[in-house]
Amino acid sequence: MDQKAVDNLVSGVIVVDKPVGLTSHDVVQIIRKGTNIRRAGHTGTLDPRASGVLVVLLGPAVRLSEYVSASDKRYQATIRLGSSTDTYDSEGAMQGEEMPVDVTEEKFLEILKSFEGEKEQVPPPYSAVHVDGKRAYELARQGEEVELEPRMINVYSLDLLEWAPPEVVIDVYCSSGTYVRSLAHDLGQLLGCGAHLIGLRRTKSGQFTLRDATSLRRLRDSFDSGDWAQFLIPAAEALGDWKTIVVGGELLETVRHGHRFPNEDGSTGWARAISEQGDLVALLEADEETKEWQPKKVFFTS
């Protein structure tokens, strides 16, 4: 069987509990090698210093990447108060002197909560954002001043988990594209004592939490024993929060060929079409003018 056939034979999701020390790309390469499926990709970079939920799509499911990547995220972040760094985390150079943390828990909570809601956020200078065709971190490492444009983010909730100054642990539930490093830095600025991120663990990405995640060690063992498919989650579950339309018979064939069909309840936005067997058939977009569903991406071909 040629490689293309292998890549199209399996479609689904593997959720990994990424360990500290590996890049997200490293994990994808390990999965490609272990499954012998070259068509694979992650849906949201986790820094090498961060751990937690990394969603990897396999086979035709990689076509879901743009939708899964845009899903909300949740993190457990450990922040050190009293000092700032140029990278906004523990990898960077200290900026200025270490300052006393003269902040009460009540004051910290008050300022923390002020970051909730839809806000503009400036990414860290050492980030992968493109500036004039280069990554911001490349320019920053060359000593160039990096001015990044603010972007709109949404922080749904911020909760204090542990108060042990100068270190605090917070829960961050936010939209995709939120930089927790910037949140830590900006928090320190408002507190007046400086702050930087010293630990980050992603606990949720879209529909998937740490309960769905498999350790890399266990996954590697399953590659050796040949039973890794036990960790493969159906592609349809990657968009489990979308409206679901079950299609069968003639309607299944209609959708499979990319043809429109009536939107009987007048729904708006997007939906996923699922076969009676639970396979992902297509992603649908509602045409509000014609009251029809238009298949945008078709997956089911058997």
Report d(CA 58, CA 37) in Å as an integer. 7
Report d(CA 282, CA 301) in Å as an integer. 10
Report d(CA 254, CA 59) in Å as an integer. 24
Place of tokens 């002197």: 97
The token pair at 268 is: 């708006």
Cis bond before residue 166 (omega within 30° of 0): yes
Choosing from 7, 47, 89, 186, the catalytic residue is: 47
- Residue 10's H or E segment, with its range, is none
Report d(CA 114, CA 292) in Å as an integer. 42
The token pair at 172 is: 């961050």
Verify whether residue 221 is a known catalytic residue. no
Place of tokens 């985390």: 89
Exposure on the CB side of residue 210, measured as CA atoms within 13 A? 10
Place of tokens 């606990």: 203
Report d(CA 21, CA 253) in Å as an integer. 47
Q: Which residues contact 241 (CB under 8 A, 6 or more apart)?
A: 206, 207
β partners of residue 79: 168, 197
Active site residues: 47
